Structure 1
Amino acid sequence: MNNLQIFDIELKDYRQYKGTVRIDLKIDGDQHINIIEGQNGAGKSNLLNAITLCFYNEETHLETQEEQGLESDPLVNKRRLDEINEGESASGYVEVTLGKDEPKYIFTREFRTAKREDGDFSDATGDLRLRQKFQQDWRDVPNPHTRLSEILPTRVHEYFLFDGEQLDDFFDKRYTDRVESAILDVSHIELLNRSLDHIDTVRTELERTSTEYEGEAKRKREKYEEAEDKLEDLESREEEYERDIRDANDRLDEIDEKLAGSSDPEVQRKLERRENLNDRLDEKRDDLVEKRAEVAENFAEAGALIYNEDALRFTLEQLEELENQGQLPPKIQDWFLDQLLDRGECICGAELEDDEEKREHLEELRKEVAVITEGNIEGKIEIPHLLSQADDSLNALLQGVGDITGIEDDIEGIERQLRDISKELEGKEIPEDVDVAQLEQQRSEIEERIRQMREEVGQLRGEIEQQEQKVKDRRQAWQEELEKEEKYEVLAKKISFIDDSEEEMQEIRAEILKEVRNETEEYLNQYFNDLIWKDENYDVELTDEYQVKVFGPSGEKKLGSLSAGERQVLALSFMSALSKISGFSAPLVIDTPLGRISSRPKRRIAQNLPDYLQDTQITFLMTDEEYSQEVQAMLKPSIAHEYRLNYEKDVTQVNDR
């Protein structure tokens, strides 16, 4: 076993688990899957919470419950708390044993629940403890978080320990932010980011405090600082708008949840229609951003060719005309001049050894003829190629502009349909039901505000780009002024070194992110096609803008039309890809992995799961509906342990299945 595995989890009076409960999860060879089955409320999700509580002092699944306004039970088992008096407290612990072929690490976290006089409870958790095996002895290890970070750091644990039901929403609205954040998490570039921040700080301090500037250097420095201050102000305004847009979108989500509570079937149909249109609108907007970037890149590459097309055609015509007149290639051939130089005698009979001036004249003529001949040949070959390239580039640009117009028309059409739906809902009156009209009016006002803010952001970004160039130009002018004066020579060299270092690190950072994106795309393709139940191949792309695109056999985009189950498989594949490329050899624990998958596709997924992440221990926390007889039969050869959770009177028993 090359990857780490969980040998066992031991719980003492943790939530539903009264007394001491130990769950053996050790795997062996091809049997790398554990199954823990339990009905909702039996403590299945709390096993995942127990691991994250032990490692990171947080319960992942409970955070979702709290967001929904649901209260959680005390940490200590309720039956155990019944045994103590008010004002007293009871304690427990979670212990997780890790290792490869044998146990090596035992992580432990204790907790305590106090029974208050008002009948309520208060929880407290202790510090993380670690015992590590050295030969045959177990010893306490100081700074356990350092060792845990080497195994599974906080920033990436959610790609190894996660709730499958939450994956259904992973590719919903604004998913590109989540994808980008995930890529940054697993790319191990936090050290580079800290180094870049440090370089920026050092440069700022060096520029502002290293010396007192005088004369022209002082004037140009002030101009540079003035431009920097304005840039910071513009960027601050952009961040404020972006924050307001996020808040407004959250408000829209709240309104949509309230609207979804309407019992009117017509309202429900319109809401479903709007949701589909919004998905399409998001895709079209992403397409527009991508297409504009593509056209801009093509223009940057082809602009010079297109601009100089007339000059190239004129040059080619001149070359052909000179060739037709016999002036090209030159009448004096290079081989003839080579013979004269080798013989040492000019065509006029003069000895070249005795006349250095004539020899130099012939040698210069020889070089000239060679350049003209070579240029003629290269020009005759290269110019037609450049002209053809210019035509292709122009056609590509025109096609790109046409595509942009088409996408913009599609966006306008979708927005028109959305406005129609909104107007219809605003006029909807339903007695004793959700106030659809009022909510829809609020929604329209918020959407209009978001539209206005996006326009402001667009204008700001244009101003920011111009200001960035102004800062760059003024900084360069100031540095050139420093280099002119000897007293600033050392400072100029230091600043130049810092700039070069930053540029190199930025390139390294970009290369790392590109590599991580490519690897993620590769594994995302593999896992999605391994797990999806349809007998057709899909092509999954991860773009530079962190869009995930799914193409079917005929090339059509499928992301917006994926079912809930397909989207969950896509999210599961994405999380698995991240765990694979993260560089951490940790086990996977997945709660409710097949929660949104209908019965028919479960067989295909279960059939492929044994070959999925073969070198990784996987523990599935499943409901009885997920772990059907058919799924069980498919997984059986790969299962190391099977458990069933039986819950009764606030206590869960863990039994072999």
Structure 2
Amino acid sequence: MLIKELHLENIGSYKDQNLFDLSHQSSQKNVTLIGGENGAGKTTFLNSIKLGLFGCYSYGYKTENDEYYRRVYSYLNAQARKQEQSSFSITIVFSETENYITHTYKFKRSWKVKGQAIKEYFEIMKDGRILNEAETDIQRSRLRELFPPKLFDLCLFDGEEISRIIIENKLASYLRELSTVVFNLDLFNSLEGDLLSYLKQEMDEKQLSALEQEIFSLQNEKKEKTLYIIKIKEQINKSLLRIEELQETYTSIKKDFETHGGLVKEERDKLNEQMRAIEAVRKQNSEKIREFIQTLLPLYLNKDLLVAAKQQIEEEESLTLYKQLEQKLTVERLTEVLKNLSNSLIKEHSATDLQELLLNMLKPNQSDVTYIHRVSPSQRAEVEMVVNALEKETSEKYIDLIDQNKEMLVESQSLRQRMNINDSANEFIEMLNRMEQIKAEIFTLEKAIEESKSELEDKEKELLSLSQLIEAKQKVEEQGNKKRNSFTIAQNLMKLSTEFQKLQHQKKLQQVQIEATQMLNKLMRKHQYIPVIRINPETFEVTLYDQDREIISKETLSAGEKQILLLSLIWAMFKCSGRRVPFIFDTLLGRLDKTHKRNVLVDFIPSCGEQVLILSTNSEVDEDHYKLLKNHVSHRYLLEFNTEKRKTEISHQYFKFEGEEQMR
């Protein structure tokens, strides 16, 4: 379906008659650009298309009820409502190809207002012929089947909605819904729903046997378990993605924390341990210094005197021994000794010489030694011990210890200052608290994932057992009832529907992967950064791979890159579906950087299909962006709200810079 014209009569801020020509002039000029500041009427423009096509179905109602009319009443132009003769209408002209023939349809939905009462009128014209009531009902139902309101919503690329899908990690569920609608598989869901309703009715009317009722109940239980398992898997994937986000946030905060001097608990404990080690060494050094000062320092200061005293004591000891031997070793005694030792003739002077030799060996070194100390052996030993201890000590050793303590004191003070700054800074405290919160949340999520996986395993076992039980009972039922009754037919249809949907998803998603990958690499600034995209046909989880076939976490992508990824996937699904639908972009470029904006305008928009509607502010598609796009623009409109007249005025241009450019 391609929209050719939109007529608004007294709708929202569009007073009186307003016409938008949306037809495309050629395949190269497929863009209609609608500019306007916030509040100018862009949202009303979009809502009018949906309301004009689907009426009460656009709000989710199956019939025109009081709530629907209340919403429509508030949607009509307030000034025109005060005038009883005013007309209110939305007219949409569009083309649709049926059996290789293109037809032009004109949907006109109008309202009459009298006081608070409102009545709706609906008319369809096909190729210039007004359809009768029956034909109108058929065509209206056909439109909802071929182009349901949900599909219209999926054709609307709302930048804020896309951002929400990305932020809330709803990509898988969004792709599941998109795939089902775009590939017409929702018709099979409707079929299964109708079959289940039929079987339930049959069971309520007791038209089914006890075995058939049991199978039907088991199948309902199986469906509920299957949906519950899908829900558990989605929750696990959502939790895993959340953990990735939290870990990245934690790493980022920790990096900032460390960069600005903040200390995490582990590092703080490490610094505390370093400070304790430093203080222990300083204490040991201080004790050594204190012991030296209290014991040896006075003696060390008189070391030379002690050495001299030790030498004097030794001399005195030698002198004492000398005098003792001198008294004992008389010439007479030595002569007697020599006679006993040898029978040879002993000269008279031999004993005298021997005495002199022996005494000289013991004689003090100093000839003028006199007694000063006269110490006992134990006192002499104490003096020797002190002197030996002093000879091992040096002043440099304790000076080094004092210098070392000074250096370590400075280091300890620096560590203490870092900790004090860290503990006193509010932003650091907030960072610490945030990191603790993140760790706690990760722990909670990991615990929840473990519990969910355990529950998932149990539920999958239950589902397998239930499936086997249903299969066994179906075989019994088939054997007991050879003819193909309505129950058996409905069962087989549901089986066939389920298998068909599964095969279609697998087949279509393979094509989508290829197309989405090609478009993504056109649009991304990082060329061939993601050469492979895979979509799980059961869970619809998207997995990205790099050139080495390593998985790329989607959380590493920027907000703009995630938006580009989603756009590529949506575009690929529509392309693979072969549907002729208009693509509508509302505030699409808000989160994209300059390069990505350019790529979207140059490579993406022209490839979207036969019709593209872009609603934008002048800050989103500015003068430079407009120059990139204008060769593809067939129609331009500027919406400006006139505060005096309280209505939206339409001009055929796109903001003032275009007029200024033409003047130059």
Q: CA offsets per residue over residues 126-177 of structure 1, 9 Å max, x none?
A: 6572422346667775215214225521231122233233212323323211
Bigger Rg over Cα: 2
Displacement of 1:237 in angstroms is: 8.0
The SS at the match of 2:601 is: helix
Report the counterpart of residue 350 of structure 2 in structure 1: none
Counterparts of residues 260-299 of structure 1 (less than 5 Å): none
Candidates 497, 520, 526, aligned match of 1:528:
520
Question: What is the CA–CA distance in structure 1 between the aligned matches of 2:476 and 2:598, rounded to whole Å?
Answer: 72
Candidates 153, 157, 178, aligned match of 1:158:
153
Identity %: 19
1:461 aligns with 2:456: yes
8 Å contact kept, 1:248–1:446: no
Displacement of 1:621 in angstroms is: 0.8
The SS at the match of 1:19 is: strand
The SS at the match of 1:171 is: helix
Question: What is the CA–CA distance in structure 1 between the aligned matches of 2:199 and 2:132, rounded to whole Å?
Answer: 46
8 Å contact kept, 1:603–1:630: no
1:20 aligns with 2:13: no
8 Å contact kept, 1:168–1:571: no
The SS at the match of 1:51 is: helix
Question: What is the CA–CA distance in structure 1 between the aligned matches of 2:153 and 2:72, rounded to whole Å?
Answer: 21
The SS at the match of 1:621 is: strand
Report the counterpart of residue 47 of structure 1 in structure 2: 45
Displacement of 1:244 in angstroms is: 10
8 Å contact kept, 2:586–2:615: yes
Question: What is the CA–CA distance in structure 2 between the aligned matches of 1:483 and 1:610, rounded to whole Å?
Answer: 55
Report the counterpart of residue 633 of structure 1 in structure 2: 627
1:190 aligns with 2:172: no
**Letter of the structure 2 residue corresponding to residue 6 of structure 1:** I
| Structure 1 stretch displaced more, 4-13 or 128-137 | 128-137
Q: CA offsets per residue over residues 212-243 of structure 1, 9 Å max, x none?
A: 78xxxx9xx99x89988987897798799899
**Letter of the structure 2 residue corresponding to residue 514 of structure 1:** Q
1:647 aligns with 2:656: no
Displacement of 1:210 in angstroms is: 4.7
Displacement of 1:598 in angstroms is: 2.3
Displacement of 1:653 in angstroms is: 1.0
8 Å contact kept, 1:105–1:133: yes
Q: CA offsets per residue over residues 265-292 of structure 1, 9 Å max, x none?
A: 989989xxxxxxxxxxxxxxxxxxxxxx
Report the counterpart of residue 605 of structure 1 in structure 2: 600
With over 3 angstroms needed to count, the CA separation of the structure-2 counterparts of 1:438 and 1:538, relative to structure 1, is closer
Counterparts of residues 32-431 of structure 1 (less than 5 Å): 32-57=30-55, 74-80=74-80, 92-99=88-95, 104-110=104-110, 127=120, 129-134=122-127, 141-143=135-137, 144-149=139-144, 151-172=146-167, 173-197=169-193, 210-211=208-209
With over 3 angstroms needed to count, the CA separation of the structure-2 counterparts of 1:245 and 1:36, relative to structure 1, is same
Give the number of equivalent residue pairs: 454
Report the counterpart of residue 511 of structure 2 in structure 1: 519
What TM-score do the two structures reach when normalised by structure 2?
A: 0.55
Q: CA offsets per residue over residues 175-205 of structure 1, 9 Å max, x none?
A: 2112212112222223333444566677786
What TM-score do the two structures reach when normalised by structure 1?
A: 0.56
The SS at the match of 1:6 is: strand
8 Å contact kept, 1:44–1:645: yes
8 Å contact kept, 2:157–2:588: no
8 Å contact kept, 2:54–2:144: no
With over 3 angstroms needed to count, the CA separation of the structure-2 counterparts of 1:439 and 1:25, relative to structure 1, is same
Displacement of 1:32 in angstroms is: 1.2
1:581 aligns with 2:576: yes
The SS at the match of 1:620 is: strand
8 Å contact kept, 1:9–1:95: yes
**Letter of the structure 2 residue corresponding to residue 548 of structure 1:** V
Question: What is the CA–CA distance in structure 2 between the aligned matches of 1:461 and 1:100, rounded to whole Å?
Answer: 46
Candidates 641, 653, 656, aligned match of 2:652:
656
Question: What is the CA–CA distance in structure 2 between the aligned matches of 1:242 and 1:128, rounded to whole Å?
Answer: 47
Displacement of 1:22 in angstroms is: 0.8
The SS at the match of 2:35 is: strand
Report the counterpart of residue 543 of structure 1 in structure 2: 535
Question: What is the CA–CA distance in structure 2 between the aligned matches of 1:236 and 1:454, rounded to whole Å?
Answer: 18
With over 3 angstroms needed to count, the CA separation of the structure-2 counterparts of 1:199 and 1:133, relative to structure 1, is closer
The SS at the match of 1:28 is: coil
With over 3 angstroms needed to count, the CA separation of the structure-2 counterparts of 1:210 and 1:138, relative to structure 1, is closer
Q: CA offsets per residue over residues 85-106 of structure 1, 9 Å max, x none?
A: xxx8966222211126998212
Q: Structure 2, unaligned stretches of length 5 or more?
A: 60-70, 258-422, 654-664
1:618 aligns with 2:616: no
The SS at the match of 1:22 is: strand
Question: What is the CA–CA distance in structure 2 between the aligned matches of 1:593 and 1:607, rounded to whole Å?
Answer: 14
Candidates 507, 510, 517, aligned match of 2:502:
510
8 Å contact kept, 1:34–1:618: yes
Question: What is the CA–CA distance in structure 2 between the aligned matches of 1:440 and 1:111, rounded to whole Å?
Answer: 59
The SS at the match of 1:602 is: helix
Question: What is the CA–CA distance in structure 2 between the aligned matches of 1:179 and 1:246, rounded to whole Å?
Answer: 15
Question: What is the CA–CA distance in structure 2 between the aligned matches of 1:520 and 1:134, rounded to whole Å?
Answer: 35
Displacement of 1:617 in angstroms is: 1.0
Question: What is the CA–CA distance in structure 2 between the aligned matches of 1:73 and 1:189, rounded to whole Å?
Answer: 35
Displacement of 1:16 in angstroms is: 2.1
Question: What is the CA–CA distance in structure 2 between the aligned matches of 1:506 and 1:128, rounded to whole Å?
Answer: 40
Displacement of 1:37 in angstroms is: 1.1
8 Å contact kept, 2:523–2:596: no
8 Å contact kept, 2:113–2:119: no
With over 3 angstroms needed to count, the CA separation of the structure-2 counterparts of 1:644 and 1:454, relative to structure 1, is same
Displacement of 1:18 in angstroms is: 1.8
Question: What is the CA–CA distance in structure 1 between the aligned matches of 2:85 and 2:592, rounded to whole Å?
Answer: 43
